Every structure is written in C-alpha cells, then in structure tokens.
Copies of this chain bind each other. A is one copy, B any other.
C-alpha cells in the first residue's frame, strides 16, 4: 500500500501539473526536499503567473518515529500508538488564480500508517477537494460538485452526502460564522473498509481533479475585472488565511511539529488584505457570495 499510494500521488502530480501548466502557458518550478527524519517530497510551484497568482502541487512520502505531540493527538482519537513508527504519503494542492472571477481550489489525498510496513498497527485515508470563489457562478459550483458526486458514487452511493456534510463542517470559519467556500468533499481517518477500496477512491479523486476544476478556470481566466474586484478577492483571501492559520488542524499541527514550514504554508495566497469595517453593498455580487457562505447549499 505504501508503494502503491506513493506511486499514485507522484503520477497524479505529473498529470495535474501538466494540465495546469498548459493553461498557464508556463511550467511549474520544482523543488525536491528531504526530511532529516526520513523520506522527502517534491513541491511544484507557479507564482505570480498570468493565470495562476499562486499555485502549489506538492507530494511527499515521509517516515520515522511519531513525536510526543503527534502520538498524544492520535491516542486522543482512539488510535493505538504503542508502535510509533509511521509512514505518510499524499498529494496536496492549492491554486489561487489571478482573475477574481476564477475560484481558489484546494485538494488533498493522503494515506497514513503506523507500525511495520508489512503488518501495520493502524492505517487510514484522508482526502477531499473544495472550491472557494470570491464571486458566485452557479454553473461553476454545480459542475465542481457534480464531478465530486460522480466520483463518490462510483465507490459508494452513501459517500457523497457524508463527505459533503463533513466538508461543510470542517471548512467553517467559526469566528466569522461563515464557510471558507462553497465546499466539496472531505473525509479523514477512513478505515472502515478494505484498504484497496479506499486507495481506489483516493486515486479516482486525484484523477477527478482536473475534470472538476480546469473547465472552470478556463472559463473565468480571461474575464475583465476592476481594481475594486481585485480588492474584494484579496479580502476573501484574507479570510482564507484566517481559516488556515486559526482553524485548520493540519496547519496547526504542522506548525507545532517538525514539518516543513514552506510546505505547510504553501496554501497561503500571494496577496491578502484586511479592510476593517468592509461591508459589501446589499444586493451586490459581493453580498451574494457572503450570504451563500453563511448558509451552505446543496449544489447537485
């Protein structure tokens, strides 16, 4: 399973980057890194591009001994951490486009194992993808969610409702009382069926990324926009930063352990603004998206 998933996320990185690079008209820059404790990864980045303001597509496969804090957090969730050897592999991506009408997207699929590789003491899968626009286009939201529903339905007809609700619940900016974006799917700690079935779900999720997102980026990347719309985009990206730094468990955990800071914070946008007291005019497109973030919808 370790080898299978590491091969899958690497292949997905190649495929996803090729698709996005074709739209950008330029390649991602690659950085390979090694983890002192074991393993390493390959980060690919486009920054300050024509289409993508900041986009990172990272894969890693790391192993070693769980630290005190990590072991404690896992025990608290009921995981047997008597054997602290771990292995983790996954792909994580965030794309923040230049155009304020093109939505930010996030996806992450990962596999985690405790113990010896041949007979792991514990293992689980996590994953999902979600969309965060600054302006609402219903057809984009419907398309994105439809691709995710079809993906889920290929594996279990019960998955989509469960993972959609999990996503709405997880990506919630509590102090603002609003969702980070329009949701998608999210799951974690999944080990309630044979590992090969969950591996197939993750692999299908990775393959579904481009069909779900690329048509949207293609459609919106050339829309003319004003400076005021760029400012609104930056304000929304400030909210994205708030979620990731204040509420995201993965980021929180990464910043308190020996994770690679540049990878953990790759998700942050190139530009963000905090305009105190900013209130969108009632009835405006800016007010529309905020209203929807306060009351998540079913899109399919």
Shortest Cβ distance from residue A71 to the other chain B in the assembled complex, whole angstroms: 20
Q: Which of B176, B234, B261, B269 contacts A261 (CB 8 A)?
A: B176
B45–A255 touching, CB < 8 Å: no
Nearest residue in B to A247 (C-beta to C-beta)? B255
Contacts of A245 in B (CB 8 A): 241-242, 245-246
A118 adjacent to chain B (CB < 8 Å): no
Contacts of A7 in B (CB 8 A): none
> Considering the chains assembled together, what is the distance between the CA atoms of A274 and B31 in angstroms?
17
A277–B31 touching, CB < 8 Å: yes
Q: Which of B256, B261, B276 contacts A266 (CB 8 A)?
A: B276
Number of copies: 2
A54–B276 touching, CB < 8 Å: yes
- Scan A267-285; emit 1 where CB is below 8 A from any B CB, else 0: 0111111111100000000
A270–B274 touching, CB < 8 Å: yes
| Interface size counted on chain A using CB atoms at 8 A | 32
* A202-261, CB < 8 A from B: 234, 238, 241-242, 245-246, 252, 255-256, 261
- Scan A150-189; emit 1 where CB is below 8 A from any B CB, else 0: 0000000000000000000000001110000000000000
B241–A277 touching, CB < 8 Å: no
Contacts of A242 in B (CB 8 A): 245, 265
A56 adjacent to chain B (CB < 8 Å): yes
Nearest residue in B to A251 (C-beta to C-beta)? B246
Nearest residue in B to A246 (C-beta to C-beta)? B245
A-B contact pairs, 24 of them (CB 8 A): A31-B277, A45-B277, A47-B275, A47-B277, A54-B274, A56-B276, A174-B255, A174-B256, A175-B255, A175-B261, A175-B264, A238-B268, A238-B272, A242-B245, A245-B245, A246-B246, A246-B255, A265-B274, A265-B276, A270-B273, A270-B274, A270-B275, A271-B271, A272-B272
